[in-house]
């Protein structure tokens, strides 16, 4: 939202409404020693661009939204379900070697580990697998549940969660992907994955004018 | 830029200017059977929000920019130098084992490989190291230059390059990071790195209203 450059008079109006709102257009005009008609374009611009809100019979309010606040508002409303990828899961009993092979075959950076009921029990990152692979053990003989990150240390998200909260989790926890889950009686069922790659694509789509 | 919702009259004006521009305010008013004064707020909004451009003594032009075009324009101008991270480099003679240890110590997903003159000769991703680690060879005895991605197959970028071009490279080439380089007589000197983590942070900063 609105990179409109405000002129001096519009800035003054904003200031007046900020200090005196709610205030009618006529009162604003009075303070500026101008006619209501002269101010009409300025008030229209300030209202349409989201700086001010107008309520009939009450007057103008300052919304507190400056500059690109509304773009920001919209970005904050983007939800996980619109931007997710397909999850790749492995069973908790497969070997580390097989997990690495799956990771290459599916070309993903994170695997989700599930139990026999398809319930999320762990997460395997490339980093986890790399750490295991420099150990002394035979990779084909270690099951992934020995090395995986397990519940309750897994950060998950749900379809309705906000993209920006996921972005924050990815950065703060220094991970590449979150599982998207659905709550069931038995636990979390994995329905998707969301990654820094998805975030990069969202950024590209913003630049291509394809989202907001 | 400008999520202003245009009203019907503004849409009509846009259409008129699109088809007849450059066109004066008076001619637009004539076509709509309205006075110039009535149109003034609409024309001000359309001009300030970037849909139209006004040139003295010529009239209004349609800029071809719709909706969030100007946000998009600004995003497209973000440059690598504003958002880069510090690069982690290893010498081409170190072993794969040592490279993996460096990756863990520095907590990065990509290492850049340099020769004795500090010139970029290769890139090592977690994926490269993981692939090597499931081979039969002793990791401590293989030098990284056997397994690294080497010039000229390395995608690089420079300080002045656009973030969006880097984002596109990361997605299209399915890599996590690009080296930022400076051209020297001997070759590319690595000065930074830019990753999907940086892209995720840019997205967060947009939502926090911290960039544009």
**Counting one residue from A and one from B, how many pairs have CB atoms under 8 Å apart?**
164
- What is residue B210's predicted lDDT score, i.e. its pLDDT? 75
- Both B82 and B132 in one domain: the answer is yes
* Mean pLDDT (chain A, rounded): 89
Q: Which residue of A has its CA nearest to B176?
A: A197
**Rounded Cα gap, residues A17 and B100, in angstroms:** 60
Cβ distance B209 to A72 less than 8 Å, yes or no, reads yes
Residue B40 domain boundaries = 8-74
Write down the ipTM of this complex: 0.73
User: Are residues A33 and A49 both part of a single domain?
Assistant: yes
pLDDT at A65: 59
Parallel, antiparallel or unpaired: strands B120-125 and A110-114: unpaired
Could you tell me if residue B68 is inside a domain?
yes
Shared domain for B37 and B118, answered yes or no, is: no
- Return the higher-pLDDT residue of A146 and A67: A146
pLDDT digits (tens, 9 = 90+) for B160-184: 999 999 999 999 999 999 999 999 9
Cβ-Cβ contacts under 8 Å, A207 against chain B: 72, 75-76, 164, 167
- Phi-psi region for residue A209, left (φ > 0), alpha (ψ -120 to 50) or beta? left
Considering only CB atoms, B167 lies closest to which of A3, A100, A203, namely A203
Would you say residue B12 has pLDDT above 70?
yes
Q: How many domains does chain A have?
A: 2
Contact flag B202-A203 (C-beta cutoff 8 Å): yes
Q: Are residues B37 and B92 in the same domain?
A: no
Highest averaged pLDDT of the listed ranges A158-172, B65-79, B131-145: A158-172
Q: What is the pLDDT of residues A147-184, one digit of tens each?
A: 999 988 999 999 999 999 999 999 999 999 999 999 99
pLDDT of residue B65: 59
Q: In this complex, do A72 and B206 lie within 8 Å of one another by their Cβ atoms?
A: yes
Is residue A114 domain-shared with residue A41, that is, in the same domain?
A: no
- Judging contacts by C-beta atoms under 8 Å, the chain B residues touching residue A200 are 167, 170-171, 196, 199-200
In a shared domain, residues B46 and B91 = no
End-of-domain residue from the set B74, B92, B108: B74
Q: Which of B49, B68, B107 sits opposite A209 (nearest CB)?
A: B68
Q: Which of A73, A97, A126 is the last residue of a domain?
A: A73
- For residue A176, the distance in angstroms to the closest alpha carbon of chain B comes to 8
For residue B93 the two structure tokens come to 């003679």
Distances in Å between the Cα of A51 and the Cα atoms of A14, A68, A145, A183, B131 are 8, 10, 54, 41, 55
């Amino acid at each position: 939202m609105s990179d409109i450059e405000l002129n001096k008079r519009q800035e003054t109006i904003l200031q007046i409404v900020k200090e005196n709102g709610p205030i009618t257009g006529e009162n604003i005009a009075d303070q500026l020693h101008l006619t209501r008609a002269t101010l009409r374009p300025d008030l229209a611009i300030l209202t349409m661009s989201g700086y001010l809100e107008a309520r009939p019979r009450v007057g103008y309010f300052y919304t507190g939204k400056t500059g690109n606040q509304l773009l920001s508002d919209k970005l904050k409303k983007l939800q996980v379900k619109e931007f997710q990828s397909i999850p790749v899961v492995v069973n908790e009993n497969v070997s580390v070697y097989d997990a690495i092979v799956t990771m290459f075959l599916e070309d993903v950076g994170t695997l989700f580990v599930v139990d026999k009921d398809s319930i999320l029990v762990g997460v395997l990152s490339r980093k986890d697998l790399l750490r295991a692979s420099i150990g002394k053990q035979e990779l084909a003989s270690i099951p992934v549940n020995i090395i995986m990150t397990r519940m309750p240390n897994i950060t998950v998200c749900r379809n309705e969660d906000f993209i920006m909260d996921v972005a924050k989790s990815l950065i703060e926890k220094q991970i590449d992907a979150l599982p998207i889950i659905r709550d069931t009686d038995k636990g979390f069922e994995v329905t998707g994955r969301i990654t820094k790659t998805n975030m990069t694509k969202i950024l590209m789509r913003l630049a291509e004018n394809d989202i907001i």
